[in-house]
Amino acid sequence: MMYKEVVGSEAMGYLATKPTMIITTLHESGIVNAGVFGAYTNLSPTQVGIAISKSSDTYRNIMRAGEFVINVPGADLVEKIRILADNIPADRSELDEAGLTAKPGINISTPSIAECVAVAEFSFDKEVPIGFHNFVIGRIQGGWIKHEFLDSDGKIDIFKAKVFRDFKYPAPLYVLPGEVIEG
Ligand SMILES: Cc1cc2nc3c(=O)[nH]c(=O)nc-3n(C[C@H](O)[C@H](O)[C@H](O)COP(=O)(O)O)c2cc1C
């Protein structure tokens, strides 16, 4: 099996370096929605916080369904980001538009994206009202990582996985992990 599936907080290690990620959620119809997000951080060993626009489908779906998946793409998916970040009507799946495959959830009902390198599944915990964006806090339930991208410490190997971060958003420019220095 190419995926290592986990229950609980181990999957937080797959978000190391907080790369640009894709959140999948479920529309009321059961169609899978996918949106792109970069403004997030870990808040505790089991919680993540994300600044999410209140006008996004992602926000509405999390508030209704109470769960979401953070999917970590490798550099081979960078061109899909533009499609996923588009405002696609709720009766069409961004995954289909981008030619990506839904993989059934492990610990929650929301599917993940099979082409990503790793994913972390969350249940909605609480939100902090900010303004245009709200700060949405999720609690880890589990996730999966492809064996080839697992580092010896149980976290993601960001170099092998070729994760990337947005560099000059909204320009479609991204950076890959670079030099490592020891402190
Ligand atoms: C690289 C990148 C990073 C983004 N980061 C965020 C973010 O942190 N928060 C946010 O609300 N929107 C962010 N966006 C914009 C959303 O992707 C966009 O609003 C999208 O339409 C949301 O999808 P949805 O309506 O299907 O939820 C980002 C877009 C890109 C391309």
Among protein residues, the one with the nearest Cα to ligand 1's atom 1 is: 166
**Ligand 1 atom nearest residue 39's Cα:** 8
User: What pLDDT does 17 receive?
Assistant: 96
Is pLDDT of 138 > 80?
yes
Residue 116: which of 90, 81, 167 has the closest Cα? 81
Confidence band (pLDDT; 50, 70, 90) for 99?
Answer: very high
User: What pLDDT does 132 receive?
Assistant: 95
Average pLDDT of 134-153?
98
Burial class of 107 by CB neighbour count within 10 A (0 to 12, 13 to 18, 19+):
buried
Average pLDDT of 51-79?
97
Distance CA 155, CA 54 (A): 31
CATH for 175? 2.30.110.10
Q: Is 132 in the pocket of ligand 1 (CB under 6 A)?
A: no
Among protein residues, the one with the nearest Cα to ligand 1's atom 9 is: 52
Confidence band (pLDDT; 50, 70, 90) for 137?
Answer: very high
User: What pLDDT does 86 receive?
Assistant: 85
User: What pLDDT does 87 receive?
Assistant: 84
- What is the maximal distance between C-alpha atoms in the chain? 50
Q: Is 73 in the pocket of ligand 1 (CB under 6 A)?
A: no
Confidence band (pLDDT; 50, 70, 90) for 90?
Answer: confident
Q: Is 20 in the pocket of ligand 1 (CB under 6 A)?
A: yes
| Count of structural domains within the chain | 1
**Ligand 1 atom nearest residue 166's Cα:** 1
CA 86 to ligand 1 centroid distance, Å: 8
**Ligand 1 atom nearest residue 33's Cα:** 26
Q: Is 81 in the pocket of ligand 1 (CB under 6 A)?
A: yes
**Ligand 1 atom nearest residue 59's Cα:** 27
Calculate ∠ Cα 18-86-116, nearest 5°.
Answer: 40
Q: Which residue has the higher pLDDT, 88 or 110?
A: 110
- The chain-wide mean pLDDT, for the chain, equals 96
User: What pLDDT does 178 receive?
Assistant: 94
The residue segments making up the domain with residue 99 are: 3-182
User: What pLDDT does 26 receive?
Assistant: 97
Average pLDDT of 37-64?
97
The pTM for the full model equals 0.98
Average pLDDT of 102-111?
98
